[in-house]
Amino acid sequence: MDRVLIIGAGAAGSVVAQKCAMDRETFKHITLASRRLVSCENVAALCQTPIEIAQVDADNVEETIALIEKVKPDLVINMALPYQDLPIMDACLATKTHYMDTANYEPRDVAKFEYHWQWAYQERFKEAGLTAILGCGFDPGCTNIYCAYAQQEGLFDEIEYIDIVDCNAGDHGKTFATNFNPEINLREVTQDGRYWKDGNWIEIPALSIRTMIDYPEVGPKMSYLIYHEEEESLVKHIKGLKQIRFWMTFGDEYIKHLDVFKSIGLIGLEPIKHKGMDIIPMEFLKDLLPVPSTLAEGYTGKTSIGVILRGTKDGQPVSKMIYNVCDHAETNKEVSAQAVSYTTGVPPVSGAAMFFKGEWSGAGVFNVEQFPAKPFLEDVTKRGLPWHVIDVPMGKQDELFAVET
């Protein structure tokens, strides 16, 4: 296996294509496809070695089937919008092609993302003898694998509490901009928060719980409890878990703009009339905001993303953090991308390598924490995302641990 089709030429898709093109021993044939061929042309110009490009409307199953039949990839890496996960999975089933993505399916008409739509494909992929790998980005992706590593390698006898913590301490100099697709970002942040505790999902109003978290190489940052999809799969796969939460940093300016957008209806998903035409406010706002792929130049600062795990080992309480720190300026220098795109785009390259080498295998639909963690982490380190394990001593992260949820 050495043929890959990447669908999606946005900021993160560009990173995937460039990193694959740096490893022609693993990826001997690379095709990048997108709705806009010019986007593929721009990415191809950045690649160190030549890649093929194509145009495809990933919402159109028959069109995607035709492209897959032409390219004959061993694996499709879906870097398109989450709305397009199911059509691409359908096309992979029709062509007997393996599948990978970095974010779970979302319906267009409601800000809601859950795995059940994709988990429902389990029997069809299994019967076809195909592998579907879900959520192989950073979060979800590396964060899941950090948890799996802690469980598989015996760092704990039982992991009882997981806090996934995501900090972007960078400065892009814009008044307001999102680091990935604005529509997906704003839908994610403005839906109700949710976390899992003692066997139950608990919902809270959006951004209603916050606390200070101390991030490696960044320091203390205000962080907000939101819902994120890896919580749903980790609940199934981490033994002894009592609670899992997801925290993300947002600056005061971001929150202020978000409040204004909400108050005047600009994040709405229902069509409104504008000069006799139906428009969706969220899509209109998306067109007003900077394109994430344009943010890299001049972006300073770092991302610091990881998991804080608490549990027991040999009958004693243990707290550890597993994390990565990524520098915006360095990623821009390497692949003309800011660190949020880089941290999303590198893991699927490692995941594809794991699949091609047989380290990750099986028929059916899998979340990444179901596979061996150690070989993936060794590979992703070589490709630019080193990871670290540290103890969390008494007195560290006390504000986070004290939050009553």
Domain match, 258 and 355 both = no
Q: Is 169 in the same domain as 302?
A: yes
- Report the mean per-residue pLDDT for the chain: 94
Q: Are 72 and 32 in a shared domain?
A: yes
**pTM across the whole model:** 0.94
Q: What is the pLDDT of residue 111?
A: 63
Q: Find the mean pLDDT for residues 277-298.
A: 83
- Residue 151 pLDDT > 90: yes
Residues 6+ apart with CB under 8 A from 308: 162, 163, 165, 319, 320, 321, 392, 397, 400
Q: In this structure, are 201 and 331 located in the same domain?
A: yes
- CA dist 52 and 151 (Å) reads 40
Contact by Cβ (8 Å): 388, 320: no
Task: Say whether both 322 and 357 belong to one domain.
Answer: no
Q: What is the pLDDT of residues 47-72, one digit of tens each?
A: 999 999 999 999 999 999 999 999 99
State how far the alpha carbon of 297 is from the alpha carbons of 85, 272, 301, 331, in Å: 30, 36, 12, 10
375 in the same domain as 355:
yes
Domain at 102, CATH number:
3.40.50.720
Q: Per residue in 65-96, pLDDT tens?
A: 999 999 999 999 999 999 999 999 999 999 99
Whether residue 95 is found in the same domain as residue 224: no
Q: Domain range spanning residue 194?
A: 142-337+386-402
**DSSP per position, 83-106:** GGHHHHHHHHHHHT-EEEESS---
Q: Is the pLDDT of residue 180 over 90?
A: no
Domain count, the chain: 2
DSSP state string for 175-226: SS--SS-HHHHHHHHHSPEEEEETTEEEEE-TT--EEEEEETTTEEEEEEEE
Q: For residue 298, what is the domain's CATH number?
A: 3.30.360.10
> Minimal CA–CA distance to 99: which of 85, 113, 111, 83?
85
Identify the pLDDT of residue 116. 94
Residues 6+ apart with CB under 8 A from 99: 75, 76, 78, 88, 89, 92, 125, 130, 131, 132, 133
Is pLDDT above 90 for 306? yes
Residue 170's pLDDT is: 87
